[in-house]
Structure 1
């Protein structure tokens, strides 16, 4: 396979991808199906798109297409599909904005798994930013400092969203161990696994309105196909700080969509929680330093 040339406009590509993904909650809501069936059709449409894309790009004949990598990608696919299902369930139980914000705790689960499973080192700076981010989650969840009474359904939705973030973190760690396998191939493995895993549980006998098919196709082609291709093509061309900042286009778009179309504005506590999660995520990703030592006395 020939070495690919650097893509043009990587910043615009990643920005567009994040903007597209930020609308996934609206697409899932408008589709009007249960989370399992929605994710099943997401995987069907995404598999079709990614299969055609990988075939046209010559990815399916690559030297990095190893059975061990495919197997590991499939295990990650189980985690990813379950993550998507729990994530979509969170939309229905809470709100698009709340679910999306809480879901962004996933980078910290990656760090925690690295510490507990792989014995990776952690610094005081990282602990500081992580604690701040988890405080942000409690505020963004709406379980505290909320003017509205918290229902058991809302609390369950938050729990499912946190579980979705954890599963996404596991899939991320597994993906890091795939060597030089093309990300598009990894995503294709995940969606194929999704079709196989969910077909016994999806409600395929229900009558799906024509409009719902358009929303479902959008989730598969736009949010899982086009957006992933844009992201994966942009990542190698961008620095970590740029990626870290642009990633927050995703929750920002979700917040705007939830407010503009579903009349779900963020409360003050949730906005503060979002700010803490954002600061914590950037602090960990960008290696922001925090001084914990006392200032030295001034010389006379």
Structure 2
């Protein structure tokens, strides 16, 4: 999570447009994951059926478009703001499950989600902001929400792959990204040596090493621990945005971050709201 929290700085320092940045993320990521899977003996994967490949490819389209919109948000708002708003994506997963998969949702979950979406409004700066919100800033927030929704769809699709190794799924997604973005990426523009270093870092560190570490750690951790550790990501992004780019987090944005964090933990851990508990206890038996 600490590694992934630096992706905004890497994307900013690379200095390329979002589409080209994501193309090279996919290229370097696919190279690393391909070597990793071959070394681990996960390739060739004979369990890959046409159906699984189709689901992985569709998820790859969603994931690549999510990355592109996410990186665009960095330039239009700030690293901290984009990262905080992006963390609304677990709630999109819940909503998709309720609307399309007929999954059940409790009143407590609805209330936690409402609080988290209120946190997004605060974090976006639309309510409390020292300066007027520009159209570029609003577009950046919209793209970030779109990125979160696309990530949620990719997450739902990944569930349909069963026991397929996550590294294989991510490898499929990065290969899809190379094919999808190649016609639109600016591959003619000269890239400086330092930019190549940042691009390779996004692919190898953030798409390869960080994903392998997470997938290796998740089976060894409980849900509460995973839920808490998830917020190392935005905290690192906030610190970097403040320390390097002089973008301190405002009080309203900090409050929004807290609401999103509480809402996420409340839904994931099944917390019952104290007000609801009090009202239930006061009912006559």
TM-score (norm 1): 0.92
Q: Distance in 2 between matches of 1:256 and 1:110?
A: 27
Equivalent position of 2:266 in the other structure: 283
Q: Distance in 1 between matches of 2:70 and 2:130?
A: 24
Q: Is the 8 A contact 1:64 1:180 kept in 2?
A: no
- Select 2:223's aligned residue among 240, 244, 247: 240
Residue 85 (str. 1) matches residue 68 (str. 2):
yes
Which string of whole-angstrom CA distances, capped at 9 and with x for unpartnered residues, describes residues 36-60 of structure 1?
A: 0000000000000000001111112
Equivalent position of 2:104 in the other structure: 121
Equivalent position of 2:282 in the other structure: 296
Aligned pairs for 1:200-239 (under 5 A) are 200-239=183-222
- Select 2:83's aligned residue among 82, 100, 103: 100
Equivalent position of 1:49 in the other structure: 32
The unaligned stretches of length 5 or more in structure 2 are none
Q: Distance in 1 between matches of 2:266 and 2:282?
A: 25
Equivalent position of 1:12 in the other structure: none
- Select 1:76's aligned residue among 55, 59, 78: 59
Task: Please tell me the root mean square deviation across aligned C-alpha atoms, in Å.
Answer: 1.3
Secondary structure of 1:178's partner?
coil
Which string of whole-angstrom CA distances, capped at 9 and with x for unpartnered residues, describes residues 65-103 of structure 1?
A: 333212111100000000000000000000000000000
TM-score (norm 2): 0.97
Q: Distance in 2 between matches of 1:275 and 1:296?
A: 29
Q: Distance in 2 between matches of 1:23 and 1:237?
A: 24
Superposition misfits of 4+ residues, deviation over 6 angstroms:
none
Equivalent position of 1:29 in the other structure: 12
Q: Distance in 2 between matches of 1:270 and 1:101?
A: 8
Q: Distance in 1 between matches of 2:166 and 2:281?
A: 47
Q: Distance in 1 between matches of 2:55 and 2:183?
A: 23
